[in-house]
A and B are shown apart, each in its own frame.
Chain A
Amino acid sequence: MAGEKKQGLQLLDFWVSPFGQRCRIALDEKGLSYEYLEQDLANKSELLLRANPVHKKIPVLLHAGRPVCESLIIVQYLDEAFPATPTLLPAGDPYARAQARFWADYVDKKLYDCGTRLWKLKGDGHAQARTEMVEILRTLEGALGEGRFFGGEAFGFVDVALVPFTSWFLTYERFGDLSVEKECPKLAAWAKRCAERPSVAKNLYPPEKVYEFICGMKKRFGIE
């Protein structure tokens, strides 16, 4: 408790959010203690609405009361605000940093939206989402190349951006009738490698739990 007060870090978050998990993983990778504040998204708190009036979304990082919003922005902020901790963006190499930002941006632009369409839509929309999902995963596998992680030898920014979605692979597989292992064996291996890291193991929920959550969402929205 004393440690948390010293650094003054709080995270407004929602348990299953892959965007929130990025922040939790980044904080743990950096050895930063923080207070986790679970939010009720059906009934948003005053704190959340004040901290993120623009988007009214989680995650939000509060640092000595000042809000930082948008998960990748939060991760970059942590690199900059706590320079004595292990960096996630490659230090001192603008080109490598640009590549890292590009791929994290790619995950943001493509993966979540396509995944959502995969479990929400039927017919043509669903078929298109499935085709896109395979393409996205293959593209990411291409970016991974022969490295252990996206940044090479070290677990870094792009790994943090993507790893929470590995808990969603099972959901994508079931709704998309596809196999990540079969389509992208290197990406599947990378996911296993990441799962061995304490920061990842601690902060990701089992894939079955995510699948259960999505099935619940489908019922709630009346999508069968």
Chain B
Amino acid sequence: MSGGAVKGIGFFDSPFSHRAEAALSRKGVPYELILEKDLRNKSELLLQHNPVHRKVPVLLHGDRRAVCESLVIVEYVDEAFQGPPLLPADRFWARFIDDKATCSTEFWLAMWTEGEVQRGFVKEIKENLKLLEGQGKGKRFFGGDAVGYLDVAASAFAHWLPVCEEVAGVSLVTAEEYPDLCRWAKEYTSHDAVKQCLSDREELLARFSARKDSFVATARNDIEISSNYMIMMI
């Protein structure tokens, strides 16, 4: 195939890793998947190819230097390979997902905290999800009739969020409150190109359950650190 073999460095648990796979799968690009075993003990390969962020996913295409950052990878895959387009890239809403909804720090903290602190996060998240819900109205996918850039960007909502909710014993998203998002989630996770690179739900559940205590402990620590920052945007 033109340009050389494609390899992805990923991690079973990671929805960001899935974004890269979903893009490749949707374009019909064959790739080899190299899974990190433990992100607390990262491989030489990962550190060598992503020295800046030291994170998954990483895309290796032939001899080129690595492409890093999941949304950058998705755009690269769309531009570098033939196949059904993921564009137009809805960069604004994809970024919104990373900063404010599903993939944001606040979302993660909402899962693993309790009481007043949790309620604060949940309130903001629910408002942001309402905005995202509006983007999915009346369409099968965010991209219209076909899975596109924003669908891939939002994949954590479809598959990882319900697992986290179950492990945390929290219900952030109900079909009553978010009918379009929930309908979209079903469509996305049953799509052929997506299904084959979704991490097995039962195994995700087992892995997250096993790490629940460490998630809670880290969340507590993160809250303490950020409350010392008093960061306000100008």
A residues apposed to B, CB below 8 Å: 17, 41, 54, 57, 68-70, 73, 76, 94-95, 97-99, 101-102, 105-106, 113, 116-117, 120-121, 125, 139, 217, 221
Contact of A76 among B64, B91, B234 (CB under 8 A): B91
Beta-carbon contact of A54 and B76 below 8 Å: no
* Alpha-carbon distance between A106 and B52 when the two chains are bound, in angstroms: 9
For the residues of A in contact with B, the DSSP-based class is: helix
Beta-carbon contact of B229 and A95 below 8 Å: no
Provided the pairs A117-B229, A125-B229 are in contact, do residues A95 and B91 lie with their beta carbons within 8 angstroms? no
Indicate with 1 or 0, residue by residue over B57-81, a CB within 8 angstroms of chain A CB atoms: 0000100110111001101100110
Interface size class of B (residues with CB under 8 A): 20 to 34
Q: Which residue of B lies closest to A97 (CB)?
A: B79
Q: What's the least CB distance linking A41 to chain B, in Å?
A: 7
Q: What's the least CB distance linking B19 to chain A, in Å?
A: 14
Q: Which residue of B lies closest to A76 (CB)?
A: B91
| Total inter-chain residue pairs, C-beta < 8 Å | 57
Beta-carbon contact of A217 and B76 below 8 Å: no
* Alpha-carbon distance between A116 and B230 when the two chains are bound, in angstroms: 10
Beta-carbon contact of B92 and A69 below 8 Å: yes
Q: What's the least CB distance linking B85 to chain A, in Å?
A: 13
Q: Which residue of B lies closest to A223 (CB)?
A: B230
Indicate with 1 or 0, residue by residue over B195-234, a CB within 8 angstroms of chain A CB atoms: 0000000000000000000000000000000001111111
Q: Which residue of B lies closest to A100 (CB)?
A: B72
Beta-carbon contact of B52 and A117 below 8 Å: no
Contact of A70 among B72, B95, B229 (CB under 8 A): B95
* Alpha-carbon distance between A217 and B234 when the two chains are bound, in angstroms: 9
Q: What's the least CB distance linking A59 to chain B, in Å?
A: 13
Beta-carbon contact of A120 and B76 below 8 Å: no
Q: Using Cβ atoms and an 8 Å threshold, which residues of chain B touch A113?
A: 231
Beta-carbon contact of B69 and A94 below 8 Å: no
Q: Using Cβ atoms and an 8 Å threshold, which residues of chain A touch B91?
A: 70, 73, 76
Q: Does B39 lie at the interface of the complex (its beta carbon under 8 Å from any beta carbon of A)?
A: no
Beta-carbon contact of A102 and B67 below 8 Å: yes
